[in-house]
Amino acid sequence: MVSLITGGAGFIGSHLAEALLARGGRVIILDDLTTGSVDNLRHLRANGALECNFDTVMNRRLLAEVVDAADVVYHLAAAVGVRRIIENPVLTIETNVKGTELVVEAAARKRKPVFIASTSEVYGKNSQVPFCEDDDTTLGPTSKTRWSYACSKALDEFLALAYWKEKKLPVVIGRLFNTVGPRQTGRYGMVLKPS
């Protein structure tokens, strides 16, 4: 099984790559290193089943090549980190929405299954706990850049589900909550700062 991981040099992506390689799979990583790091993959680089491409999902030609080579796509590439999102709302929206659009478009051409990493942020201010996938979302005002991330990830979900409905692209969406662990960095205003 060949897995493509966009954002594979990131905190979560590098752990996914490690797990897939441990199962005997082949892994292709596409990461522009905006928030990911080569250091996250250093311990895996000697594995001949790992291919690293340090470029953006916006590179359509390269994206098409790596999607074609894969059996499944894990789309984890996104603008992340509270500080980056608040300071760069245009980049956040463009990276998340356009990046996801290009990934599902490329996957749909070859009907490659796609996992879309979303976020608990799409629930917004909803206080009804526990959350359910079909719960209403309550986002704050568009004048608050904090909501650009939640809105962009919700749009990613709408787009992925539309590709399923119209083009029968197999998609799975996972809404990740505050994830923490080894290789996470606090540089971008993440949940925890490592000591």
* pTM of this prediction exceeds 0.85: yes
Return the pLDDT at 195.
52
Share of the chain above pLDDT 70, in %: 94
pLDDT digits (tens, 9 = 90+) for 27-79: 999 999 998 999 999 999 999 999 999 999 999 999 999 999 999 999 999 98
Residue 193 lies in a domain: no
What does the H/E/C string look like for 8-20?
CCCHHHHHHHHHH
What mean pLDDT do residues 97-105 have? Answer: 98
Residue 161 lies in a domain: yes
Residue with tokens 């990461």, as numbered in its chain: 31
Catalytic residue check, 149: yes
Q: Which of 74, 123, 149, 163 is catalytic?
A: 149
Q: Is 65 exposed, middle or buried (0-12, 13-18, 19+ CB in 10 A)?
A: middle
- Whole domain around residue 32: which residue ranges? 2-176
What mean pLDDT do residues 88-114 have? Answer: 95
**In this predicted model, which residue has the larger pLDDT, 27 or 119?**
27
CATH value at residue 169: 3.40.50.720
Q: How many domains does the chain have?
A: 1
